[in-house]
Chain A
Amino acid sequence: MLANYGYSDGSGDYFITIDTQRCNACGACVMACPSQVLVTVDEDPNDPENDGPVVVAHGDRVRKLRYECDPCKSTANTTMPICVVVCKTFAISHSW
């Protein structure tokens, strides 16, 4: 499942996409994220019949994603946000 967490407003689209088939819930992104946007849960809230842990975006942070992700976006020399960099299974992408 491609889970798009985030929002779109007049200023743009701000989504973190997690491919739950690729995510192995290793938690590297959870540790790396400076804004605690990502969390590991035992059961996918959007797929209750599927067993096994998965990484999801934190409900409260999602609504402010543009600002929460700012530390990884505003530095000119970062090409990719840290959560994307540390993911060994290429399960995470950002829409902006």
Chain B
Amino acid sequence: MSVDKQPEFWRWDETNWVNRDIEWINSEYITLGIDIGSVSSQAVIMCDGEIYAYGNMRTGSNSPNSARNALEFALEGATMKESDIHYCIGTGYGRVNVPMADRSVTEIACHARGANFIYGPSVRTVLDVGGQDIKAIRCDEKGKVTNFLMNDKCAAGTGRGMEVLSDLLSVSIGEVGDRSFDIEVEPSPVSSACVVYAKSEATALLRQGLNTNEVLAAYCLAMAQRIWSLLERVGVEPEFAITGGMAKNRGVIDRLCKKVGLEPMKTRWDTQLAGAIGAALFGYSLCRKGKSKRR
């Protein structure tokens, strides 16, 4: 990747939101969940289990700063101050580096709990495809994990893998989905799951005369197969939800859903918040059960 060309792995807007209808001053427990991912970081503040404010922004070069920035962003325009927060849980790959966290919880547990909140208790399977990992989680009606796997060792099927290919083909990440369907016949998928091999195979396909869109389609299909093979290990039970940055790439997701045979659930919430919401909810329930003390 050349230095002067910025990779476009975050084509989403940084957003924040405050629910002014909540009289936070009256709430018993004000909990904060912070999710530091490889690409984006979120801070969610909940008052007795209801979302009061959130901030969603790009992860910076160090986790403590990203956590602080996300929290400040969430509190922008709010009457609440950081010192009003009773309890904080960190999650995500940078969870041990969240300075204000009272404890950390794995992203697996937080994701399931968060999905249960944003999609409702009918969600049973949660797939999260992030920048550097894939998580497949099954959970019960309470958002408790019943089966999970996480693959963060291999780039195949992750946002990073997509980024390598979009860089190779000079197509921006946001255009990949639509362009991969702008073809006459669906090509066969690239044969290797490995991103390194897929890259050389894509180059060979271009030389053989396939156009960029067809190569994109071949690659999206391989990614969908790859994700499907992981999902199969935990099994899919309806309802089915997809979170993470890849959820916005229909090139991969539409092809994946065809294999799964289920439509993904819809929500009014930003799905990127799932982990941080779960963390804040864990903070709330741990405080209530007296397992953790509020500050």
Contacts and interface: CB of A to CB of B under 8 A. Distances in A.
A90 to B, nearest CB: 17
A71 to B, nearest CB: 20
Contacts of B225: none
Interface residues of A, number: 19
Given A1-B147, A4-B234, A10 B154 contact: yes
Nearest to A63: B153
A10 B289 CA distance: 44
B146 A1 contact: yes
Interface residues of B, number: 29
Contacts of A1: 144-148
Q: Chain B interface mostly helix, strand, loop or mixed?
A: mixed
A8 interface: yes
A13 to B, nearest CB: 7
A47 B140 CA distance: 13
A7 B148 contact: no
Interface stretch (B8-16, B44-52, B104-112): B104-112
B154 A8 contact: yes
A7 B153 contact: yes
B147 to A, nearest CB: 4
Nearest to A65: B153
Given A1-B146, A4-B149, A47-B144, A10 B233 contact: no
A2 interface: yes
Given A45-B106, A45-B109, A46-B106, A8 B230 contact: yes
Interface of B: 105-106, 108-109, 144-154, 156, 192-194, 197, 229-230, 233-234, 282, 285-286, 289, 291
Given A2-B146, A8-B230, 12 more contacts: A1-B147, A1-B148, A2-B147, A4-B150, A6-B149, A8-B151, A8-B154, A9-B194, A45-B106, A47-B109, A49-B282, A49-B285
